[in-house]
């Protein structure tokens, strides 16, 4: 497996609330360090450590604008420095919201508050999305990994494996070691450790850089051409519902979102089976499939949901597969409540890839918080995936 990693993703380090105490966030740099160490030790994969160039960073921000508002991106980029300058946070501290935006009849056109201190609550939905001194660099590095993974799968990309190795060895799947993760955030709200929706950026990359043969129309922007015909299937295997990804593609008939997640768990207000897309006859009706699973469920019960998920993805006949891969489904995870063991991930990886063998796939890392077991869980998933491939 080609695996993409960028050391800048380690720069983001923040805190979150556990009960009434501020603790170092479960989503920590040590997660990626542990994974990279296990991959190196296994000697099995093509681990590519990259550093986003200034041009890559600019390009990632441009691509992010298709998903996130400019006000939101600018806030995420600048708020830490603004708070530091105003004496609201210390150099090694974190920016956290005090008060969240409310939804009421009088404020439907609510604008971001002018007060720097008030702004984080407008652009976030929880307190698990703090911003530290170098968070922005990590966030962009993480997004760029998803973008570069998509480039590796594009048929005519100069950086694709086929350019040097010939068509037979063209990459079929690429794993992006994204951190921070992405599936909880949408247009202008961070949350659940997520700031930029990495999977959405991979999709934007496919749409903007696909070769002309696949294109059906061009946008007025000469730098970007858009394809409306490409179809994407997102399979979200993180323990938590990817509310951000669902929201971004809910009305898009060319993107199927399928998620298996803990029922009634974080983020609490989304993820019901009844969320199936806009009502018929909207063409996007039926392009959202939530498969909530009771907490405490066994791997057998999980597999039953997985088969439903994979059948839906197969039926959709997507051009590209995007997998939001979280290991917080592990039985020991502090934030997850399924009974899934290390050896089960090999079966999971095999099941997914054997059902969807021919679809080029970007796998983006989401959650998973048992740091010292993350590496072996991931290696098991990849082993199963590669046997099927």
Q: How far, in Å, CA of 355 to CA of 131, rounded?
A: 39
335 binds ligand OKP (CB under 6 A): yes
Tell me how far, at minimum, the Cβ of 113 lies from ligand OKP, in Å. 24
Among 16, 56, 247, 252, binds ligand OKP (CB under 6 A): 16
Find all residues with CB under 8 Å of 78, minimum gap 6, and list them: none
Q: Which stretch binds ligand OKP (CB under 6 A): 11-19, 82-90, 135-143, 244-252?
A: 11-19
- Interface mask (CB under 6 A) for ligand OKP, residues 366-385, using x and -? xx------------------
Residue 184 is a catalytic residue: yes
**Residue 328, interface with ligand OKP (CB under 6 A)?**
yes
Residue 362 binding: pick among ligand OKP, Zn ion, none (C-beta 5-8 Å cut-off by kind): none
Which helix (H) or strand (E) segment holds residue 209: the answer is helix 198-209
Which lies closer to ligand OKP via its Cβ, residue 371 or residue 388?
A: 371
Q: Does 16 bind Zn ion (CB under 5 A)?
A: no
Q: Is-contact 342 300, C-beta < 8 A?
A: no
Question: Distance between CA 382 and CA 342 in Å, rounded?
Answer: 12
Per CB under 6 A, the segment of 15-23, 75-83, 114-122, 269-277 that binds ligand OKP is: 15-23
In contact, 83 and 89? CB cutoff 8 Å: yes
Cβ-based nearer residue to ligand OKP, 8 or 366:
366
Residue 251 CA to residue 36 CA, distance in Å, equals 37
Which residues in 294-353 contact Zn ion (CB under 5 A)?
326, 328
**Which of residues 294 and 387 has its CB atom nearest to Zn ion in the complex?**
294
Stretch binding ligand OKP (CB under 6 A), from 12-20, 132-140, 299-307, 314-322: 12-20
Tally of CA atoms within 13 A in the half-sphere of 208 that contains its CB: 21
Tokens 């691509």: give the residue.
Answer: 63
**Diameter of the chain measured on Cα atoms:** 60
- Count of CB atoms within 10 A of residue 382's CB? 25
For ligand OKP, the closer of residues 18 and 294 by Cβ is 18
Binding test (CB under 6 A) with ligand OKP, winner from 17, 84, 303, 355? 17
Residue window 175-214: x/- pattern of binding to ligand OKP, with contact defined by CB under 6 A: ------x--x-------xx---------------------
Q: Map the footprint of ligand OKP across residues 50-109, applying CB under 6 A.
A: none
Q: Which residue has the tokens 């938590």?
A: 240
For residue 274, what are the contacts with CB-CB under 8 A and spacing of at least 6? none
Site string for Zn ion, 220-249 (x = CB under 5 A): ------------------xxx---------
The two structure tokens encoding residue 217: 């129309």
CB 198, CB 238: distance < 8 Å: no
Out of Zn ion, ligand OKP, none, what residue 13 binds, judged by CB under 5 to 8 A for its kind, is: none
Task: Candidates 38, 59, 128, 148: give the one binding ligand OKP (CB under 6 A).
Answer: 128
Answer yes or no: are the C-beta atoms of 198 and 145 closer than 8 Å.
Answer: yes
On the CB side of 147, CA atoms within 13 Å amount to 28
The only residue of 326, 349, 360, 361 in contact with ligand OKP, by rule CB under 6 A = 326
Q: Please identify which of the residues 5, 12, 68, 184 carries the catalytic annotation.
A: 184
Pick the binder of ligand OKP from 68, 240, 346, 353 (CB under 6 A): 240
Under 8 Å CB-to-CB from 326, ≥6 apart: which residues? Answer: 181, 237, 238, 239, 240, 365, 366, 367, 368
Q: Which two tokens stand for residue 166?
A: 């010939």
CA distance 183 to 248: 10
Q: Alpha-carbon Rg of the chain, whole angstroms?
A: 20
**Nearest CB to ligand OKP, comparing residues 369 and 385:** 369
Q: Any contact of residue 252 with Zn ion (CB under 5 A)?
A: no
Where do contacts with ligand OKP occur on this chain (CB under 6 A)? Answer: 16-18, 128, 181, 184, 192-193, 238, 240, 266, 326, 328, 335, 366-367
Residues designated as active site = 184
């Amino acid at each position: 497996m080609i695996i993409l990693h960028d050391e800048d993703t380690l720069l983001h380090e923040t805190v979150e609330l556990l009960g009434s105490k501020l603790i170092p966030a479960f989503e920590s740099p040590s997660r990626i360090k542990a994974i990279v160490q296990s991959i190196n030790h296994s000697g099995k994969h093509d681990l590519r450590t990259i550093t986003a160039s200034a041009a890559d960073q600019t390009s990632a921000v441009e691509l992010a604008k298709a998903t996130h508002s400019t006000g939101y991106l600018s806030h995420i980029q600048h708020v830490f420095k603004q708070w530091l300058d105003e004496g609201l946070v210390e150099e090694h501290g974190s920016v956290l919201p005090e008060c969240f935006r409310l939804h009421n009849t009088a404020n439907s056109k609510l604008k971001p508050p002018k007060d720097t201190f008030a702004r984080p609550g407008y652009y976030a939905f929880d307190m698990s999305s703090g911003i530290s001194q170098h968070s922005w660099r990590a966030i962009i590095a993480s997004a760029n990994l998803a973008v570069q993974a998509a480039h590796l799968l594009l048929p005519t990309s100069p950086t694709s494996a086929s350019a040097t190795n010939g068509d037979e060895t063209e990459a079929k799947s690429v794993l992006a070691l994204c951190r921070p993760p992405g599936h909880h955030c949408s247009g202008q709200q961070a949350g659940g450790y997520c700031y930029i929706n990495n999977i959405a950026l991979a999709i934007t990359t496919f749409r903007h850089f696909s070769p002309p043969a696949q294109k059906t129309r061009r946008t007025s922007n000469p730098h970007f051409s858009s394809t409306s015909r490409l179809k994407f299937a997102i399979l979200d295997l993180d323990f938590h519902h990817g509310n951000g990804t669902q929201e971004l593609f809910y009305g898009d008939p060319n993107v199927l979102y399928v998620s298996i997640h803990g029922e009634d768990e974080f983020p609490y207000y989304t993820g019901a089976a009844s969320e199936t897309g806009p009502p018929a006859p909207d063409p996007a009706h039926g392009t959202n499939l939530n498969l909530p699973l009771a907490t405490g469920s066994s791997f057998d019960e999980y597999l039953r949901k997985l088969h439903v998920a994979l059948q839906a993805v197969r039926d959709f006949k997507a051009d590209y597969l995007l997998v939001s891969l979280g290991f917080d489904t592990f039985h020991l995870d502090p934030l997850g409540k399924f009974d899934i063991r290390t050896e089960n991930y090999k079966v999971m990886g095999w099941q997914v890839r054997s059902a969807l063998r021919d679809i080029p796939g970007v796998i983006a890392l989401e959650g998973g918080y048992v740091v010292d077991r993350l590496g072996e869980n991931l290696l098991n998933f990849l082993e199963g995936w590669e046997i099927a491939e």
